[in-house]
Amino acid sequence: MDIRLGNGFDVHAFGPGDHVTLCGVQVPHERGLVGHSDADVGMHTVTDAIYGALARGDIGQHFPPSDPQWKGAASDIFLRHAVGMARKMGFEISNVDCTLICEEPKIGPHAAKMRSAMAEIMDLDIERVSVKATTSERLGFTGRGEGIACIATAALIKT
């Protein structure tokens, strides 16, 4: 049996805005996230975890930030690409686990909707998608409220 694990990590700084997009869900917030695309740190991290499991680089290799066509792009484009690549290579995604690291906004009230959005994009049962959050106990850039970080793991199985 061929089982592959991949991990992802991403960070985005806060900037101007009235919401953040996390795992496909717009969450009201006093600031937005800065990035070349829509800065969905959760979706970027899961995308990188899938690419990692496939040993196919990272999101920046497939969608270079230097390419203006990706400016402001919706991150589901990137995630759908990674999922499609996995399937073309003969893999199914067993599960993903995504942890958002921030002091604010509070993730708990939005986690179910985030899980649902991610599951739909990846064509997975919601029970195979975990979205959770933690703080960094007011330490580091996330603790100072300068941005949001995320880690994720994806498990793929050869079909």
Domain boundaries, the chain: 3-158
Length of the chain equals 159
Is the pLDDT score of 107 beyond 90? yes
pTM, two decimal places: 0.96
What is the C-alpha to C-alpha distance for residues 58 and 113, in angstroms, rounded to an integer?
Answer: 26
Is the pLDDT score of 109 beyond 90? yes
Q: Is-contact 74 24, C-beta < 8 A?
A: no
Return the CATH superfamily for domain 3-158. Answer: 2-C-methyl-D-erythritol 2,4-cyclodiphosphate synthase (3.30.1330.50)
Tokens (6 digits) for 16: 């101007």
